[in-house]
Structure formats: structure tokens, C-alpha cells
Amino acid sequence: MSATAERERARRRIEALRREIRHHDYLYYVLDQPEIPDAEYDRLMEELRALEAKYPEFVTPDSPTRRVGGQPAAGFRTVRHEVPMLSLENAFSEADVRAWDQRVRDRLGVAGPVDYTAEPKFDGLAVTLIYEDGVFTVGATRGDGIEGEDVTANLRTIRSVPLRLHGSGWPQVLEARGEVVMPRAGFEALNRRARERGEKTFVNPRNAAAGSLRQLDPRVTAERPLEVYFYAVGKVEGGELPATHYETMLRFREWGLRVTEHLRRVDGIDGCLRFHDEMLRLRPELPYDIDGVVYKVDRIDWQQRLGFVSRAPRWAIAHKFPAQEEITRLRDVEWQVGRTGALTPVAILEPVFVGGATVSRATLHNMDEIERKDIHIGDWVIVRRAGDVIPEVVSVVASRRPPDVRPILLPKKCPVCGSAVVRPPGEAIARCTGGLYCPAQRKNAILHFASRRAMDIDGLGEKLVDQLVDKGLVKDVADLYHLTHEQLISLERMGDKSAQNLLEAIERSKETTLARFLYALGIREVGEATARALADHFGSLERIMHASREELEEVPDVGPVVAEHIVEFFREPHNREVIQRLIEAGVRWEEHEGRPSGPGPLDGRTFVLTGALQHMTREEARERLAALGARVSGSVSRRTTAVIVGENPGSKLAKAERLGVPVLDEQAFLALLAHPERLNELLEEGES
Ligand code: IVH
């Protein structure tokens, strides 16, 4: 390429970069909704800076490289910083840091190690607070470093901002600078609430902090979990501060200005590097995000001698940690099936170095998240890896969407067992319906099947199920009934006697009830009480398997969601096959005609429960009553049919007695469940 052509190409690239950077500045500083990770933004800036250095004739005063930060947003009064709020030079390696230390010592003419302070680099929003005669008067954001936004009212709502300095000895005017951050826990909670309300979420705690502080209504800020950490001084009038940064920060603390507990005075650059490693280890445990550490020359007179270069002090440097967010391409999506049948979408990524490791897979959480974030296969996405947390896809870079992206579709069949996949309307999570058959759900299904309130196979615990499944002896619950003595004694820690006992327990379990069997199948949301209601209502498995949604919904306690789960479970041929094999193996129960649907025997009756029952939980009691058509209320009134009293009843008993409402003890209650037609008789006995 000729020199002119190359120059022309550089000019066009410079313009394109400036346009792109301005766009991202706007998203970041004005909307608090950045679209690309910081690391990517830094790369764009770096490329622009390099091109401008090579072609100085293209430098313009309005280039993003000539400015420190963003412009103040409309709506806030502007505050001019008398002492500019500058930024820090970045170092990404030990070599960068050592070179900086060398420059510092050369300039100062110091041969030995310099005293530095080392502290976390907070990933929040820089602010400055002016205290006059010890009283907080004005607070502002950094803005472009020269002018920021007046956010005094919002800063006042933050608990860790003292409205008045403690102690004494502060200068008449003191400008304290620091960072507003949102702790991760508060950030998660804020986003959870936003999601529940269908509102926009923040991409990370830093943006949440910025967005919260730059609210025009301070009442909104007041509800956000914000904190402040101070780390620098601006203007000082009418008073003196100590001769070192470290001691200044100790004074800050005495005055009630919060300073990080991780502030250290260290010996030379080796001390700095040790601190860096220590903080990198601590990073995942800190309650807030940090993106590196900051080293500062401790002596203030030396800071003054070193002075500034363009936009950053020579006496300080930020030693950055590996970025926790990076940008990469989403190549494909795989679906993982969990123990409960939940399908989780996993992003297959173009490998990217993030958070200190190469990441090629990340979770996409569920279908709802995919839809909310509008992620497609082929998109550029932001991947986040923080500490030991599973890497996740946080968002998509919409402005870089290639034309040939494909939507992410929920598979119709389980990728593990081929059974149908369903996602009930309104639910985020899709599931495999082959609960009895799917290898991913095998162990769970067997444990549940054998549990005490289901088929009650004594001795079949987790360790044993693991072995049976891992050795391939049991693929589904029906296989349990074909286990042999020989197979069992081949297992670890299984003697002759315990094998015999287990076989007997399995044999005993064959004699069961329809309710237990239904519960044992592990149909989603069919608990014991629902299983019992279904058994009572239909009387036979055959009728339940062929019941329509509408027929199922006639059973008290069965709503549309549960009905749907039941229909789907029995529609899956794999499940029907396992049931058939269970019956062939000799599992049996008594059937009856069923109680034809229609009003229940306790229809229109209202009961109140109080105290602890011995034979069932309160929840079960409630369900059993509901299954008979009764209503269960939380408070006693004259219209209450009866109050059912367990041990240690509460004030409801007293109220029942006062109102003359009949009282049933547990014995009478059990009699009622068995013979609801005897209600009146029982009520008479229980008249209070
Ligand atoms: S000192 C003149 N100390 O990093 C130097 N800055 O990238 C004043 N920051 O604008 C800054 N933690 O928002 C300093 N412990 C710390 C910091 C810190 C975070 C931020 C601050 C600054 C930016 C520069």
C-alpha cells in the first residue's frame, strides 16, 4: 500500500474509532448502561491513541483521547472542581509497575526503596465532597474531571457519608475524595427486584452505583445500597494535613470519613507487588468489586515534586487485575439436564481470557434470561467470570450483531433421553418429562421412589443408589425389582445379611397403595396430599392416566399447573413403559370405583387449624380438608364450622370458645377425615 493510501486508511479508522468511543461514552456516562466491557473500551482507546501518535496531524482538540471522562448529564447543576479530578495511569504487569517505580526513583534521585501506600482500586463512581467548618456542603461526581454534577442531595442519603466531621483539627475547608460503590449482595438483590417487576437491570455493580447516585430523585438513591470509601484529598484551606498520604488517611478515619481497612504502607515496589497478590487472592471474598490496586508515593512533598503528566499524577499508578468481563462470540448453545430434569442452556464460546482463565463455556441461565437479554447464536456477548463463580453471559453487544445470527431454540426432546421437554407458560425453566427414565434424573428418581413416604424401601440410601446406577445394575425404578442376591453382595460394604434385608424390603414394598405409588412416581408438584386426593377421586391408576386436564382439575387441590404436569408425565411413553414393568414385576395396590366428581362432602364448610397435630403436618391437614371440599381459614369467626386443635393451641382456641364455635381434637379430626358424612355428629360432641 502506498504511504498516502495508508494515511488515508488511518484517517478513516481514526474517525470510526472516535465515533464508536463517543457512542460508548454516551452509554456509559450519560445513560449508565454500557454495552461493552471496560477492557474492550480500553482497547479502542489504545488503538486511537496509537494512531494519533503516529499521525499527529489528525489530532483534534475534541478527540476522546484529549478528555478524561464523560460530560455531566442534564438535570444536575454543574460543579467546577477547583482541583481537577484526574485519572490514573494503568499498569497491567509486574514489568509495567517496576518501570514506574524506576521512573519515580530517577525523578526523585532516590537510590533505595521508596515508601508507598497500597490500597484497593474500587470499581465504582468517583466523587468529591466538600466539608466547610466540618459540615458537608457540596458533593459532586467526577464528570469530565474539570466539571461534575452536583449530587449533594443524593450523597446525603448514603449512611457512610458523614454530614458533619467527627473530632477536631480538620481544615476549615476540606475536600475529601473517594468512590461510591454498591456491594455485590445489594446489587444482586436490586437486580432480582427489578427482574421481578419486569424492569431494566444493571449490568454490574459499578453501573448500578452510578445509576443510583445519578438519580434526579434522591428518594430513589436513598433506597439503593450504596457505600463510600475515601482515598484522596482535593482542595484544602485554613488548616494543615499530615505530611504523608498514609497519615492523612488515618486522620480521615478519625474524622469519620470511611477509609478501606485494606490500606497499607509498604516498603518499595516489592511491598507493592506482595500487596497486589494478597488482594488478588482476597478479591472474591470482598463484599464489593475492585478492579486492581493503587500504589501512591507516601510522602506528600515527594508527590508535589513528581507532579502530573497530562491527565494523571506521576506519583500514583493503578495495577489492574485481569478483567472480569470480556467480549467474545457465541458459537453455539448446548443444553444440560440436571438431577431434577431442569434444562440449562450452556453457551459455547470462542475461547476468551477473562478473570484470569480461558473460558469457552458459560451459563445462559434459562430461556427467560435468553429472551430478556435477546441473545442469538453468532452474537458478540459479554462474558463475566468473577472468582469461583460459574462464568456467565451477561449481555449482548447489540450494535455489533452480525447479519447471520440464529435464534436460540429450546429443544423439543431431552438431549439426554429423548423424552419430551416442556416449559409451562410463565415459567423460566424448561424440563425433561422423562422423570422415571432419564439417566440425568435417574438417581434422584430412584431415591424418591424408595423414600419412606413413597414405596418405603428400607436401606436404599444415597450411597447404595450411586453404586447401583454407576455399575449399571439399575437404570430405572423397575430394575429394582429384578436385583439378585449375587448382584447385591458384589457391591461395596454389602454383606450377606444386608443384601438379604434389602431384598426383603424391596419385596415388601410391592404391596402398596395407589396414593403411595402415585407419589413415588415423582410427578412434578404431586406431593403426598395431592397423590392421596387423586387416588381417592379416581380410584384407579388407569383412570388417572387417561384423565383429561379438565377431569384432573375437578380434584380439589389440583390446579391447571399440576394437571398439566400429570398429563405430560403420563403422555411420555418412556414413563408409561416403566410403570408397565413395575406392575409386571408385582407392584400392586387396591383399587376402587372412585368418588365421582361433584361437590365434596365438606363443601361450603370452613375450618381453622391451631396447635401442632401428631399425625400430620398442618399443610397436610389443610390439603386433606381441601380434598374433601372444605375451606381452611386463618382466623376464627362466627361462620367457622369448627376449630381443629392440636398441641399447644394458640389464641384461636380461646376465640372459638368465646364465640361458641365447636372444637375438634385430633382424634375427632381423624374420624372426620375418615367419615366426613359424620360431620354433624362430631360437631355436636365438640360443641364448646
Ligand atoms: S486516587 C489523582 N485511589 O480510579 C489520583 N483512585 O482510574 C486520584 N479509584 O478516578 C485517584 N480506587 O475513580 C485513587 N484507591 C484509589 C482508587 C481510585 C478507585 C478510581 C478513581 C480514579 C480512577 C482512575
Distance of CA 91 from the midpoint of ligand 1 (Å): 13
Give, for 130, the enclosing helix (H) or strand (E).
Answer: strand 125-132
* Cβ atoms of 445 and 422 closer than 8 Å: no
Give me the sign of the Cα torsion angle 207, 210, 216, 217: positive
Catalytically annotated residue among 121, 296, 320, 652:
121
Model confidence pLDDT, tens digit, residues 198-249: 788 888 899 999 999 988 888 889 899 999 999 999 999 999 999 999 999 9
Give, for 327, the enclosing helix (H) or strand (E).
Answer: strand 325-337
Q: Which CATH number applies to 80-320?
A: 3.30.470.30
Distance of CA 652 from the midpoint of ligand 1 (Å): 61
**pLDDT given at position 628:** 83
Using alpha carbons, select from 303, 382, 464 the residue that is nearest to residue 27.
382
Identify residue 165 by its one-letter amino acid code: L
**pLDDT given at position 672:** 93
Can you tell me the distance from the alpha carbon of 56 to that of 66, in angstroms, rounded to the nearest whole number?
Answer: 13
Q: Which CATH topology does 454-584 take?
A: DNA polymerase; domain 1 (1.10.150)
Beta bridge partners of 352: 359
pLDDT confidence of 597, banded at 50, 70, 90? low
Per mean pLDDT, which range of 105-119, 251-265, 292-306, 548-562 is the poorest? 548-562
Distance of CA 657 from the midpoint of ligand 1 (Å): 70
Distance of CA 127 from the midpoint of ligand 1 (Å): 10
> Does residue 316 have its Cβ closer than 6 Å to ligand 1?
yes
Q: Is 6 helix (H, G, I), strand (E, B) or coil?
A: helix
pLDDT at 379 over 60: yes
pLDDT at 70 over 60: no
Q: How many CB atoms lie within 10 A of CB 217?
A: 9
Using alpha carbons, select from 252, 2, 272, 4 the residue that is nearest to residue 121.
272
Mutate to test the pocket of ligand 1, among 68, 175, 286, 294 (most ligand atoms within 8 A of CB): 294
Angle at 681 between CA 677 and CA 683, to 5 degrees: 105
User: In this structure, which residue's CA is closest to atom 3 in ligand 1?
Assistant: 231
**pLDDT given at position 74:** 60
Identical fold between 3-66 and 80-320: no
pLDDT at 296 over 90: yes
Distance of CA 221 from the midpoint of ligand 1 (Å): 23
**pLDDT given at position 596:** 58
> Does residue 231 have its Cβ closer than 6 Å to ligand 1?
yes
Q: Which CATH topology does 325-407 take?
A: OB fold (Dihydrolipoamide Acetyltransferase, E2P) (2.40.50)
CATH class of residue range 3-66? mainly alpha
Annotated domain spans of the chain: 3-66, 80-320, 325-407, 454-584, 606-687
* Cβ atoms of 410 and 367 closer than 8 Å: yes
Distance of CA 392 from the midpoint of ligand 1 (Å): 28
Per mean pLDDT, which range of 250-254, 361-365, 612-616 is the poorest? 612-616
Model confidence pLDDT, tens digit, residues 628-670: 878 888 889 998 999 999 998 888 999 999 999 999 999 999 9
pLDDT at 73 over 80: no
* Nine cell digits for residue 454: 413413597
> Does residue 478 have its Cβ closer than 6 Å to ligand 1?
no
Can you tell me the distance from the alpha carbon of 334 to that of 348, in angstroms, rounded to the nearest whole number?
Answer: 7
> Does residue 121 have its Cβ closer than 6 Å to ligand 1?
yes
* Nine cell digits for residue 563: 394437571
pLDDT confidence of 103, banded at 50, 70, 90? very high
> Does residue 144 have its Cβ closer than 6 Å to ligand 1?
no
Model confidence pLDDT, tens digit, residues 511-569: 999 999 999 999 999 998 899 989 989 999 999 999 999 999 998 779 898 999 999 99
> Does residue 179 have its Cβ closer than 6 Å to ligand 1?
yes
CATH class of residue range 606-687? alpha beta
pLDDT confidence of 414, banded at 50, 70, 90? very high
Mutate to test the pocket of ligand 1, among 29, 179, 266 (most ligand atoms within 8 A of CB): 179
Catalytic-residue membership of 235? no
- 204 backbone dihedrals φ, ψ, rounded to 5°: -155, 170
pLDDT confidence of 589, banded at 50, 70, 90? very high
Enter the pTM of the model: 0.68
* Nine cell digits for residue 203: 449490568
pLDDT confidence of 504, banded at 50, 70, 90? very high
| Arithmetic mean of pLDDT over the chain | 92
